[in-house]
């Protein structure tokens, strides 16, 4: 298959955040210090080279950008200030836009106005729909049970619909990622059964984010702070998702607190709040190399998340203290932030929650395939070699 060269590729990637790729003179120092590069996945120098050569079709088949956890060591080491760490981050944004078949991710990464406009439109549609439903069938002064403004049964169906749409996009995108990185990448023959024997890698990396903890950068932070907060955020998302998809009836009932359900909501809220404060603080202070440059989409993400967490907490307090009318209004505002935030996921950086553990799984398959190939070659008679 012919390799497509795009001489404009570096300039295109500029819009995704990589500004200094041209500075790289291929010394290789970055790959030497990278804690995650190995014999099979050599980065970030190789990625910088492919970029400089404009080998777009080659880059879309690579897993390397997903194996980078943006510890920033390579950028600190680079003698040319080519910022390879940020380049890997930008490549992840670009890959997200390649896996997305709709073109929405590309539009959002390249135009903040388009992204904010889409969020506002979805938020307004959500708000108008919920207010219409509430005022035609319920009473704004009732939060739960008979005559409720937003009854839990309706919210459950609403959540499942939004979750279903999200799932459809994610499954299609994950399939496209597999197609690009495993099917189109024909440099290695991969036995099909490795997909079964290595399947544990996906949940393992999803739930532990283990490789993040291996970043050398941890010595700068007490108790592996970035990894812990990242883990807290991820567990917060998952817990909240399970609560609203499965336990929404218990969540909405009250004003009594059902501790066996609500305790998970409190823990998830605390994790999300701590993670959000930490990331906003670091992005404002630019105190670590990972936070020196923020793409517009990073800010949209944290601002929406902050609104969601704060309105969620305030609405919960108002409900428990009997201020039902304002609790209902705040619930509408809360959902006006939740819906665009969730629907935005397949088109933004947040989708790394799916792509990174998938990449770990695919990388493990490729490593095992290489190991088997080498074993077979080493066992061949010398004259055949
Ligand atoms: S990015 Fe920097 S450290 Fe890496 S190869 Fe290029 S010049 Fe060297
Ligand atoms: S940011 Fe860290 S993990 Fe990513 S390529 Fe650079 S050294 Fe490796």
| Residue showing tokens 């889409």 | 118
Ligand 1 contacts CB of residue 141 (under 6 A): no
Lowest mean pLDDT across 17-21, 130-134, 261-265, 379-383: 379-383
Does the pLDDT at position 225 exceed 70?
no
Ligand nearest to the Cα of 217, by number? 2
Output the CA 328–ligand 2 centroid distance in Å.
46
- What are 139's strand-pairing partners? 148
| Residue showing tokens 């499942």 | 160
13 in Cβ contact with 5 (< 8 Å): no
| Per-residue pLDDT reduced to its tens digit, 34-48 | 989 988 998 999 999
**Average pLDDT in the 1-26 region?**
83
Tokens of 177: 């990622």
Q: For residue 221, what pLDDT is reported?
A: 55
141 in Cβ contact with 325 (< 8 Å): yes
Output the CA 86–ligand 2 centroid distance in Å.
9
Index of the ligand 1 atom closest to the CA of residue 87 = 1
Residues 6+ apart with CB under 8 A from 99: 105, 173, 174, 176, 177, 180, 351, 355
Ligand 2 pocket, mutate which of 33, 51, 62, 73 (most atoms under 8 A from CB): 73
Output the CA 43–ligand 1 centroid distance in Å.
10
Residues 6+ apart with CB under 8 A from 244: 159, 251
Does the pLDDT at position 329 exceed 60?
yes
Residue in 335, 74, 40 with CA at minimum distance from that of residue 215: 74
| Per-residue pLDDT reduced to its tens digit, 95-136 | 999 999 999 999 998 888 999 999 999 999 999 999 999 999
Q: For residue 366, what pLDDT is reported?
A: 95
Output the CA 79–ligand 1 centroid distance in Å.
7
Q: For residue 385, what pLDDT is reported?
A: 47
Ligand 1 contacts CB of residue 25 (under 6 A): yes
User: How many angstroms separate the CA atoms of 163 and 159, rounded?
Assistant: 6
Q: For residue 381, what pLDDT is reported?
A: 62
| Residue showing tokens 């819009």 | 15
Ligand nearest to the Cα of 46, by number? 1
Output the CA 288–ligand 2 centroid distance in Å.
14
Nearest CA to ligand 1 atom 4: 30
| Residue showing tokens 């059902």 | 258
Ligand 1 pocket, mutate which of 10, 21, 22, 28 (most atoms under 8 A from CB): 28
Residue in 238, 241, 302 with CA at minimum distance from that of residue 273: 302
Phi then psi for 148, rounded to 5 degrees?
Answer: -60, 145
Nearest CA to ligand 2 atom 1: 70
Ligand 1 pocket, mutate which of 21, 37, 44, 80 (most atoms under 8 A from CB): 80
Ligand 2 pocket, mutate which of 88, 90, 214, 363 (most atoms under 8 A from CB): 88
Index of the ligand 2 atom closest to the CA of residue 72 = 1
pLDDT-based confidence at residue 382 (cuts at 50, 70, 90): low
Domain boundaries, the chain: 9-99, 104-370
**Could you tell me how far CA 49 lies from the centroid of its own chain?**
26
Nearest CA to ligand 2 atom 8: 34
Phi then psi for 82, rounded to 5 degrees?
Answer: -85, -5
Q: For residue 360, what pLDDT is reported?
A: 96
Ligand 2 contacts CB of residue 236 (under 6 A): no
Tokens of 211: 């490789």
Ligand 1 contacts CB of residue 320 (under 6 A): no
pLDDT-based confidence at residue 285 (cuts at 50, 70, 90): confident
Does the pLDDT at position 314 exceed 60?
yes
- Percentage of residues of the chain with pLDDT beyond 90: 53
Residue in 314, 317, 326 with CA at minimum distance from that of residue 254: 317
**Average pLDDT in the 331-345 region?**
93
| Per-residue pLDDT reduced to its tens digit, 174-211 | 999 999 999 988 888 899 999 999 999 999 999 888 88
Does the pLDDT at position 273 exceed 80?
yes
Output the CA 35–ligand 2 centroid distance in Å.
7
| Per-residue pLDDT reduced to its tens digit, 63-83 | 999 999 888 889 989 999 999
Q: How far apart are the first and last CA of the chain?
A: 27
| Residue showing tokens 């990637």 | 13
Q: Contacts from 154-157 at CB under 8 Å and sequence distance 24+?
A: 155/248, 155/252, 156/248, 156/249
Q: For residue 66, what pLDDT is reported?
A: 95
Index of the ligand 1 atom closest to the CA of residue 84 = 1
Does the pLDDT at position 26 exceed 60?
yes
Phi then psi for 350, rounded to 5 degrees?
Answer: -55, -25
Higher confidence at residue 296 or residue 7? Answer: 7
For the beta carbon of residue 232, count every other beta carbon within 10 angstroms.
19
- Average pLDDT of the chain is 88
Ligand nearest to the Cα of 23, by number? 1
Ligand nearest to the Cα of 22, by number? 1
| Per-residue pLDDT reduced to its tens digit, 353-379 | 999 999 999 999 999 999 988 887 777
Output the CA 308–ligand 1 centroid distance in Å.
40
Q: Omega of the bond prior to 44 within 30 degrees of 0, cis?
A: yes
Ligand 1 contacts CB of residue 82 (under 6 A): yes
Ligand 2 contacts CB of residue 69 (under 6 A): yes
């Amino acid at each position: 298959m012919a390799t497509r060269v795009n001489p404009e590729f570096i300039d295109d990637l500029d819009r995704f955040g990589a500004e200094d790729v041209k500075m790289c003179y291929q010394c290789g120092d970055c790959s030497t210090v990278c804690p995650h590069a190995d014999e099979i996945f050599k980065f970030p120098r190789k990625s910088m080279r492919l970029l400089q050569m404009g080998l777009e079709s080659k880059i879309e088949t690579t897993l390397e950008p997903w194996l980078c956890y943006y510890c920033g060591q390579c950028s600190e080491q680079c003698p040319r200030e080519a910022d390879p760490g940020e380049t890997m981050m930008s490549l992840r944004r670009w890959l997200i836009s390649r896996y997305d078949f709709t073109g929405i991710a590309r539009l959002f990464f390249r135009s903040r106005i388009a992204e904010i406009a889409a969020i506002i439109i979805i938020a307004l549609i959500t708000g108008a729909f919920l207010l219409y439903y509430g005022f035609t069938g319920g009473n704004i002064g009732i939060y739960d049970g008979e005559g409720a403004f937003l009854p839990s049964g309706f919210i459950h169906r609403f959540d499942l619909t939004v979750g279903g749409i999200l799932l459809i996009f994610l499954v299609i995108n994950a399939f496209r990622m597999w197609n690009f990185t495993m099917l189109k990448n024909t440099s290695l023959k991969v036995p099909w059964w490795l997909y079964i024997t290595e399947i544990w890698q996906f949940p393992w990396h999803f739930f532990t984010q283990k490789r993040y903890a291996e970043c050398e950068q941890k010595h700068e932070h007490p108790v592996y702070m970035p990894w812990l907060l990242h883990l807290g955020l991820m567990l917060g998302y998952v817990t909240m998702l399970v609560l609203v998809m499965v336990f929404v009836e218990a969540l909405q009932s009250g004003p009594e607190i059902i501790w066996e359900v609500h305790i998970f909501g409190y823990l998830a809220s605390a994790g999300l709040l701590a993670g959000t404060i930490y990331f906003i603080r670091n992005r404002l202070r630019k105190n670590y190399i990972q936070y020196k440059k923020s793409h517009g989409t990073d800010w949209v993400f944290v601002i929406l998340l902050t609104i969601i967490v704060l309105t969620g907490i305030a609405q919960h307090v108002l409900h428990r203290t009997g201020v039902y009318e304002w609790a209902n209004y705040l619930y509408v505002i809360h959902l006006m932030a939740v819906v665009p935030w969730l629907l935005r996921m397949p088109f933004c950086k947040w989708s790394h929650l799916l792509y990174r553990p998938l990449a770990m799984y695919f990388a493990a398959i490729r490593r095992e395939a290489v190991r088997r190939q080498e074993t077979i070659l080493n066992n061949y008679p010398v004259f055949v070699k």
